[in-house]
Structure 1
Amino acid sequence: MAGARSVGSLPVPNVQALAEICNGPDEHIPERYIRPEASSEEVINNYQGDMAIPIIDLKKLLSPQSSEEECVKLRSACQYWGFFLLINHGVPDEVIANLKRDIVDFFSQPLDTKKEYTQLPNSLEGYGQSFVFSEDQKLDWADMLYLHVHPSDSRDLRFWPTSPASFRQSIDAYSSETKSLALCLFEFMAKAVGAKPESLLDLFEEQPRGLRMAYYPPCRQADKVMGLSPHSDAGGLTLLLEINDVQGLQIKKDGKWLSVHAPNGAFIANIGDTLEILSNGMFRSVEHRAVINPNKERLSAALFHYPCENIVISPLPEFVKDGKVKYRSISYLDFMKQIFTQQLDGKSRVDTLKLDQ
């Protein structure tokens, strides 16, 4: 987001290179990466029934014959889960395939090539890591490339790789093809709770979007490291695409971690903190994390949808059904400044805005 340009993250070692050393005969993991909590909490890998993540079919949402029924499912997913799998989303297979290919190719390049796009001290854009603010905090087992993709005039092309040669074109096509997808979801989310579609569309249409591409190297001692610390997303809505067939996303549900297994080509969608507040808690952002595979690399691409930057975040009148406002108001820029100047810590930031705690 543009408001995050004035903040940055401390430089840390390249984890992809570190993994090659740690996976060697020595298998020594630096202390800053050792995370006891990675293996100390219960994880459910094979879930079904009430513990199965909802699947939303966009084609059914758009069909007059099935829209109402699918809307009910969408409301339940946003209210009780904060996550859902989105199928039949309409983004062309070729666009997704090109994106996947170029992300894999980018992270496969020599370190010196990737370092040409290293983050600057006052920016989150570029190649490196996020949310590192002290020299002694625990670090995630991941490398990332973060780019502002919309609006197009906000793009800082210093951080946009020229190798592979088709990279910029693939990102641009992906940004264009997904442009209407989130807006469609915002529209149906509002309809699902009896609010006017404009209540959300006016806040998110033509607003900033950012793409975070993450590379999680394998680690033979995977139970000692964490790919991405537990957190909830700050914006309105996130669309996550698994780049390869290695899964590592886990979400917290009823105090337990659930592994998310997405069908091939499906998006994993989740509510952000901003939308939880705007909806007065009708929709909920959910704590999630990424874990590491002991033998295989994992790659993902998260597309973040942010609201207009000059708003004050507070529950929208259309979502205050019983007259009870559940969250304090805060300027969006102040909220995001808090997000990007602290390390990831579950849902602590949005929780501090709740009233009647």
Structure 2
Amino acid sequence: MVSNGDPAIEKSEFIQEIIRRNPSCIPERYLRSEEDKAKDVDMSALAADIPVLDLSLLSNGSKEELQKLDNACKDWGFFQVTNHGITAEVLQGTKKAAAEFFNLPIQEKTKYLFRPEFRQGYGQPFPVAEDERLDWSDSLLLFLDPSQNRCPELWPATPPEFKGAVEAYSAGVRKITEELFGCLSLIMGLEKDALLGLHEEMRTLMRMNYYPLCCRHDQVLGLNSHTDVCTITILMQDDDVTGLQIRYNGGWVPVKPLPNSLIVNVGDILEIWSNGKYKSIEHRAVTSETRERISVGLFFSPHTAVEIEPLEDILATQKCGRKYKKVKYGDYLKGAIQRRQQGKEHILKFKI
């Protein structure tokens, strides 16, 4: 059944409410076209090839692990990290807080409804054109850094552990990010503090996604294909549910989570700074008919006034010439959020 004709359901942006009203209902705007589905190529056999890096070895300057990082960013744009220093208790506490928020009654969650002027809150975060397919997921977006970008009234008061769990987790992830920036700087031939220096006023956005069950999971997408308009993203998935897929050689490879690991991916800004050496890769999320799923992504970006272009030290080591135009990060971001990302369409506008 596609729709029961209820206009309230058709207009709803909250997937949990659609399911609550009628678990067998999938409104038309969530259904993928046959043409879109026909493009899918299953490459799950390559899932075991997605790189796994040991952050403790990277931190200790292991040349072998640094080479693995370089290869991962060039060949995949994605990797998982283990031994990252965040305890299992902190990870599970964040997942639990997210799950309890999404399980609240809709009347409670809409107290934190998405506010476009702050780009934060619960609900659909991007404008969607009439002809676009909607995502089968609900989201909560909150700015963590800089502190002046926070909107305290949009931070859930329930569950009471929510703020403490997020603060503990984000503090640990920020340390990981700073460590990765140092390692990335070294393998790019820069001073170790170069990338961190380009993030003097680092922007950190958190996005919690809830992917409910779907009776026709092969007909919808939890998140449509996109790249991330940031420097790097660090993602925490449920340990036992696979939903993230990355585009590789024209197909889709599932990222099967390792217990207590984190997923890191290259964003558009790192691709531009590296003049295309490192790749911002399309990715998407699929759903399940038997298991719900939660993910927590932290997106790290420079200040909106920072000018983004291939770094001169990188250009000096390459023979291919400049591949990207110069753009202020704020302008890049503004263009990206005016319409929901589709594949790599946004970064392609800045290629020379």
Instruction: Tell me: CA distance 1:154–1:122, structure 2 relative to 1, closer, same or farther (3 Å).
Output: closer
Say whether residues 1:334 and 2:331 are aligned partners: yes
Match of 1:35 in 2: 32
Contact 2:113 2:121 in 1 (8 A): yes
Matches within 5 A, 1:4-43: 12-23=12-23, 27-36=24-33, 37-38=36-37, 40-43=39-42
Residue type of the alignment partner of 2:18 = L
Give distance in 2, aligned partners of 1:256 and 1:138: 20
Indicate if the aligned counterparts of 1:102 and 1:170 stay in contact, CA closer than 8 A.
Answer: yes
Question: Does structure 2 retain, via aligned residues, the 8 Å contact 1:38–1:225?
Answer: no
Give the corresponding residue for 2:113: 118
Q: How far 1:21 moved relative to its partner? A: 3.8
2:280 pairs with 1:270 = no
User: In the alignment, what sits opposite 2:307?
Assistant: 312
Q: How does 1:175-324 map to 2 (within 5 A)?
A: 175-243=170-238, 245-320=240-315, 321-322=317-318, 324=321
Q: Partner amino acid for 2:118? A: S
Maintained 8 Å contact 1:32/1:137: yes
User: How far, CA to CA, are the matches of 2:50 and 2:42 in structure 1?
Assistant: 14
Tell me the matched-pair count: 338
Aligned to 2:66: 71
| Aligned-partner SS, 1:113 | helix
> Is the partner of 2:185 in helix, strand or coil?
helix
Deviations 1:264-304 (A, max 9, x none): 11111000001100111111100000011112111100000
SS of 1:46 mapped into structure 2: helix
1:314–1:329 CA contact under 8 A, matched in 2 = yes
Range with greater deviation from structure 2 (127-136 or 230-239):
127-136
Give the SS at the match of 1:86: strand
Gaps of 5+ in 1: 1-10
Which letter does structure 1 place at the counterpart of 2:19?
Answer: A
Q: Equivalents in 2 of 1:247, 1:294: separation in Å?
A: 12
Name the CA distance, whole Å, in 2 between partners of 1:350 and 1:121. Answer: 23
Aligned residue for 1:45?
A: 44
Alignment correspondent of 2:4: none
Q: Contact conserved, 2:239 with 2:257, CA < 8 A, in 1?
A: no
In structure 2, C-alpha distance between the alignment counterparts of 1:351 and 1:208, rounded to whole Å: 23
Letter in structure 2 aligned against 1:14: F
* Change in 2 beyond 3 A, CA 1:20/1:111: same
Distance 1:198 1:332 in 2: 20
Report what 1:3 is aligned to.
none
Structure 1 distance, partners of 2:39, 2:229, is: 26
The answer to whether the 8 Å contact 2:239/2:258 transfers is no
Question: Residues 80-127 of structure 1: CA distance to partner in whole angstroms, max 9, x if unpaired?
Answer: 110000111111222112111111111111111111100124232000
Which segment drifts farther, 170-179 or 258-267? 170-179
CA distance 1:106–1:130, shift in 2 (3 Å): same
- 1:347 and 2:349 are equivalent in the alignment: no
Deviations 1:304-345 (A, max 9, x none): 001122111100112112351111111111110011101221
Query: Relative to structure 1, is the Cα distance of residues 123 and 244 closer, same or farther in structure 2, using a 3 angstrom cutoff?
Result: farther
Whole-Å separation in 1 of the counterparts to 2:74 and 2:127: 31
Query: In the superposition, relative to structure 1, how do residues 222 and 314 fare at CA in structure 2: closer, same or farther (>3 Å)?
Result: same
- SS of 1:144's partner is strand
| Alpha-carbon offset, residue 206 of structure 1 | 4.3
DSSP-derived class of the 2:45 partner: coil
Identical positions, percent? 36
What 5-or-longer segments of structure 2 have no aligned partner?
Answer: 1-10
The residue type paired with residue 332 of structure 1 is Y
How far, CA to CA, are the matches of 1:239 and 1:173 in structure 2? 15
Give 1:322's aligned amino acid: Q
Work out whether residues 266 and 280 of structure 2, in 8 Å CA contact, stay in contact via their aligned partners in 1.
yes
The alpha-carbon deviation at position 219 of structure 1 amounts to 0.5
Tell me, yes or no, if structure 1 residue 84 matches structure 2 residue 92. no
Distance 1:52 1:39 in 2: 25
Deviations 1:118-148 (A, max 9, x none): 0124232000012233344321101000000
Name the SS for the 1:190 alignment partner: helix
Post-superposition CA distance 1:13-62 (Å, at most 9, x none):
21111123442xxx2311111113346411222326xx710011101112
Q: Secondary structure at the match of 1:75?
A: helix
Counterpart of 1:18 in structure 2: which amino acid?
I
Deviation larger for 280-289 or 315-324: 315-324
- Structure 1 pair 151/243, CA: closer, same or farther in 2 (3 Å)? farther
How far is 1:205 from its partner? 4.4
Q: Name the residue aligned to 1:137.
A: 132
Once residues 253 and 22 of structure 2 are traced to their aligned partners in structure 1, the CA distance between those partners, rounded to angstroms, is: 28
Q: Which has the larger displacement, 12-21 or 144-153?
A: 12-21
SS at 1:178 equivalent: helix
